[in-house]
Amino acid sequence: MTAAAPRVAIVGAGPSGLFAAQALLNGHDGVRVDVLDRLPTPFGLLRYGVAPDHATIQGIQRALRAPFADERVRFFGLVELGRTLTRDELVAGYDAVIYAAGASEDRRLGIPGEDLPGSRSAREFVAWYCGHPDAEEQDLSGVTSAVTFGVGNVAVDVCRVLAADAARLAPTDMPQPVLDELRASTVRDVWLVGRRGPQHASFTTTELRELLTLDGVQPLLDPADLAGIDATDLDRRVRGNLEALRTAAERVVPEARVRLHLRFWQRPVEIVGPDAAAAVVLERTAPAAGTAVVGTGETEVVPTQLVLRAIGYRGRPLLGVPFDKAAGVIPNADGRVMRPDGTPSPGEYVVGWIKRGPIGVIGTNKADAAATVAHVLDDLEASAGAPTSGLEVDALLAAHGLQPSTFADWEAIDAAEQARGAGSGRQRVKVASWSELADLVRHGRGGGPLEREPDAPAP
């Protein structure tokens, strides 16, 4: 390495990786940055998590794409760490490697029946309606009652998408088959279930209020869940949530299309089959020490054909990179990756959800990435001149006979999605399959074959 042109690889082109790229550009004139992603599309969960009916948030893409306008930055799509390239190759080839791979797994309920057809994670459901190419098709035919476990904004998002009328979803960028499936939905009861009280829920008030005031949706709550809560020490968000819930409890929606059942102090005990989810058994809970609850033995059976657990995303281990299984993150000291022996691993860093877990909004990742990048820059200065293999991503891939996709390829996908949108009176219609994404990349290159076809869905 020379002090003038350090080379940094960033694994993951989601918000945290792109904020890190921008912070590197701002902090070092000579730096060169390669951003890798397993998908040919950048933006991570901004594209594949943020709800399609929250289109204004997609405006953040303008800020996130800024690094790619700088010639010091390159995008390598269809490059998966642990599959296309190894951690050792990257660490040997670059002066610093920043892991920004997000949290692509989910927590489980750990109850009987959880793996029955019809029971799945909200993450899978979100990936489907956002058009992620790995997502499995969701069949809502015959679903009249859907139960969601969890009391955060992801639970609110999936309940809103399930309860919303066609007019709300029609202008979004959802892939056409998703929109058609939701339009034909026969869901009439949506349940949102939390183990603790409304004062403990992590919803934000704007999102909660939006759900509670949806057209044609009748909120149903037990007023006892809202009674007797001492608001003195509660923060503004929680007080706002309680106020929104109290207002909703009094709302009467004539000829409601959907009933929205908000159930607090209930925990799932079992998902009942036999061949597919047909009901969930809930048990009333009571507060115990700290954040724990105890079951009271009072149970209730809720008929349902769709069970979604929205109880948290978790990081997936990256092959060869230290991982804290319990926390689902890469162990780190303020962004410096820590080895199992408690010492920092030179040249390895981490940002975003794989650093701190699935908490915070997109903007939270900006300060978080800046904090890590400050250490990267300090360490680069201290280690100036340390040798590397000099093999960057393009050379490494060529050695494996592989070809990545580029930022220009993403721009071709982007243009095609906007053209599809224009054809149906929408701003964009997402391309959701690996084969169509590959066709667009191929087409942008004049129709030639891709040396590496995008892979089938990851297991």
Ligand X SMILES: Cc1cc2nc3c(=O)[nH]c(=O)nc-3n(C[C@H](O)[C@H](O)[C@H](O)COP(=O)(O)OP(=O)(O)OC[C@H]3O[C@@H](n4cnc5c(N)ncnc54)[C@H](O)[C@@H]3O)c2cc1C
Q: Please pick, from the candidates 1, 9, 10, 13, the single residue that binds ligand X as defined by CB under 6 A.
A: 13
335: left (phi over 0), alpha (psi -120 to 50) or beta: left
> Is residue 37 near ligand X by the rule CB under 6 A?
yes
CA–CA dist 404, 37 (Å, integer): 10
Give the shortest CB-54-to-ligand X separation in angstroms.
5
Q: Please pick, from the candidates 52, 67, 102, 131, the single residue that binds ligand X as defined by CB under 6 A.
A: 102
CA–CA dist 32, 366 (Å, integer): 20
> Is residue 269 near ligand X by the rule CB under 6 A?
no
> Is residue 14 near ligand X by the rule CB under 6 A?
yes
> Phi, psi (5° rounding) for residue 36?
-105, 145
> Is residue 159 near ligand X by the rule CB under 6 A?
no
Widest CA span of the chain, in angstroms?
72
Q: Please pick, from the candidates 39, 244, 277, 432, the single residue that binds ligand X as defined by CB under 6 A.
A: 39
Q: Please pick, from the candidates 9, 11, 192, 280, the single residue that binds ligand X as defined by CB under 6 A.
A: 11
Question: What part of residues 76-95 is at the interface with ligand X (CB under 6 A)?
Answer: 80-82
Length of the chain (residues):
459
Give the shortest CB-309-to-ligand X separation in angstroms.
13
Stretch touching ligand X by CB under 6 A, among 43-51, 67-75, 162-170, 184-192: 43-51
> Is residue 45 near ligand X by the rule CB under 6 A?
yes
CA–CA dist 272, 424 (Å, integer): 41
> Is residue 318 near ligand X by the rule CB under 6 A?
yes
> Is residue 360 near ligand X by the rule CB under 6 A?
yes
Stretch touching ligand X by CB under 6 A, among 49-57, 175-183, 240-248, 434-442: 49-57
Stretch touching ligand X by CB under 6 A, among 224-232, 253-261, 356-364, 381-389: 356-364
CA–CA dist 306, 280 (Å, integer): 10
Geometric angle at alpha carbon 243, from 166 and 218, rounded to 5°:
30
Which residues, in sequence order, are bridge partners of residue 218? Answer: 259
Nearer to ligand X, 158 or 238 (CB): 158
Q: For residue 77, what is the DSSP state?
A: B
Nearer to ligand X, 34 or 37 (CB): 37
Going from the C-alpha of 329 to that of each of 88, 99, 154, 237, the distances in angstroms are 19, 11, 20, 27
> Is residue 50 near ligand X by the rule CB under 6 A?
yes
Contact 198, 225 (CB under 8 A): yes
Q: Please pick, from the candidates 6, 9, 10, 16, the single residue that binds ligand X as defined by CB under 6 A.
A: 16
Geometric angle at alpha carbon 368, from 367 and 371, rounded to 5°:
85
CA nearest neighbour of 431 among 158, 177, 61: 177
CA–CA dist 26, 146 (Å, integer): 47
Nearer to ligand X, 100 or 282 (CB): 100
Site residues (CB under 6 A) for ligand X?
A: 11-17, 36-39, 44-46, 49-50, 54, 57, 80-82, 100-102, 104, 126, 154, 157, 313, 318, 352-353, 360-362, 365
